[in-house]
Amino acid sequence: MTYFDFNSASEQTSFDPIPKGTLVPVRMTIKPGGFDDASQGWTGGYATRNDNTGSVYLNCEFVVTNGEFARRKMWSLIGLHSPKGPEWANMGRTFVKAILNSARGVHPNDGSPVAQNARRISGFADLDGIEFLGKVDWDKDQNGQDKNVIKSAIQPDHKEYAALMGQPVRMPSHVHSAPQNATPSLPAVPTRPAWAQ
């Protein structure tokens, strides 16, 4: 038998789209587009620029890490800039904030210094490989067929977050804003993620 005899090859598997609204743990990776803008802090070649429209975005792949749909893949864009106005970039920043809250177990209403630090990254590299709880949505592909996308992150204020993420939730503290000259105090734990240093 030679490689070119495909009679013995496995049958192609087709998947129905994951039901809209399903909550799934995902790992996000960024396909580098080679576009940098040092004035924005966009370095490392993670961003992609569309030469036709001038829009800039992160080209992201989301892989389901656990559960019924484990290993299924979805693709979505996170907007960074659009010549049409700030709306797309603002939507992108909102999505990234929710991703950080979800990944780091921070309640969206927590305004404490530790929570604020959890919502900061040093660059796009910090988002490459991040794991969080996503909500499956549907969009149309170039052929008009339904495809799965991830456009929102499920944060710790959601009733199913703790069970699906399997991690403790940092509840909002009574501190909603840090004093101007305050030094954030961090919890004493044996090891801390980089954002909590």
pLDDT above 50: residue 189: no
What average pLDDT does the chain have? 86
61: which strand partners? 29, 75
Contact by Cβ (8 Å): 134, 154: yes
Residue 187 lies in a domain: no
Span 157-173, average pLDDT? 74
Identify the domain containing residue 97 by its residue range. 26-166
Residue 71 lies in a domain: yes
Residue 142 lies in a domain: yes
Contact by Cβ (8 Å): 134, 26: yes
Three-state DSSP state, 137: strand
Residue 175 lies in a domain: no
The reported pLDDT for the residue numbered 88 is 94
Q: Rounded distance, CA 195 to CA 114, Å?
A: 9
Span 147-167, average pLDDT? 90
pLDDT above 60: residue 186: no
Dump pLDDT digits (tens) for 103-139.
Answer: 999 999 999 999 999 999 999 999 999 999 999 999 9
Dump pLDDT digits (tens) for 41-78.
Answer: 999 999 999 999 999 999 999 999 999 999 999 999 99
Tally of CB atoms within 10 A around 193: 10
More confident residue, 153 or 180: 153
Is-above-0.85 flag for pTM? no
For residue 189, give both structure tokens: 């734990």
Locate all alpha helices (DSSP H) within the chain, ordered by sequence.
87-104, 113-118, 161-165
Overall number of domains in the chain: 1
